[in-house]
Amino acid sequence: MSQLSLPTIIAFLLYIAVVLAIGVYAYTKTKEASDYFLGGRKLSPLVAAVSAGASDMSGWILLGLPGYAYLAGLEAGWITLGLTIGVAANWMLTAKRLRIYTHMLGDAVTVPAYLQRRFNDSKIWLKSISSLSILLFFLFYVASGLIAGGKLFEEVFGLDYYIAVFVGVALILFYTLFGGFLAVSWTDVFQGSLMLIALASVPLLVTMDAGGVSAAAAKIESLNPELLNPFTSASGEPLGFMVIIGLMGWGLGYFGQPHVLARFKAIRSANETGVAAVIGVSWTFFGYLMAITVGFCGLVFFSDPLADPEKVFITLTSVIFHPLVAGILLAAILAAIMSTVDSQLLVCSAALAEDLYPMMVKKPLSADQRLQIGRVAVVVLATLSALMALDPQSKVQDVVSYAWAGLGASLGPAILISLYWRRMTSQGALAGVVVGAISVITWSQLSGGIFDVYELVPSFVLASIAVVVVSLLSPPVSDDVGIHFDDMCMRLRDRA
Q: Is residue 112 part of a domain?
A: yes
Q: How confident is the model at residue 175 (pLDDT cuts 50, 70, 90)?
A: low
- Separation CA 98–CA 152 (nearest Å): 36
Q: Is residue 361 part of a domain?
A: yes
Q: Is residue 344 part of a domain?
A: yes
- Separation CA 13–CA 16 (nearest Å): 5
- With contact defined as beta carbons under 8 Å apart, do 386 and 169 qualify? yes
Q: Is residue 448 part of a domain?
A: no
Q: Is residue 289 part of a domain?
A: yes
Q: Is residue 358 part of a domain?
A: yes
Q: What is the CATH number of the domain that holds 18?
A: 1.20.1730.10
Q: Is 36 a residue whose pLDDT tops 70?
A: no
Question: How many alpha carbons lie under 13 Å from residue 344 in its C-beta half-sphere?
Answer: 35
- Separation CA 50–CA 176 (nearest Å): 18
419: three-class secondary structure by DSSP: coil
Q: Is residue 266 part of a domain?
A: yes
- Separation CA 140–CA 258 (nearest Å): 14
C-alpha distances (whole Å) from 420 to each of 166, 256, 275, 276 are: 43, 15, 22, 21
| Region for residue 39 given its phi and psi (left: phi exceeds 0; alpha: psi -120 to 50; beta: otherwise) | left
Q: For residues 447-468, give the mean pLDDT.
A: 90
> How high is the mean pLDDT of the chain?
81
Per the structure, the count of domains in the chain is: 1
Q: Is residue 462 part of a domain?
A: no
Q: What is the pTM of this model?
A: 0.81
Range of the domain at 15: 6-397
- With contact defined as beta carbons under 8 Å apart, do 333 and 62 qualify? yes
Q: Is 459 a residue whose pLDDT tops 90?
A: yes
| Alpha-carbon torsion angle 478, 479, 484, 488, nearest 10 | -140
Q: Is 184 a residue whose pLDDT tops 90?
A: no
- Separation CA 325–CA 7 (nearest Å): 8
C-alpha distances (whole Å) from 227 to each of 9, 61, 71, 77, 241 are: 36, 19, 8, 11, 18
Q: How confident is the model at residue 408 (pLDDT cuts 50, 70, 90)?
A: very high
- Separation CA 289–CA 398 (nearest Å): 20
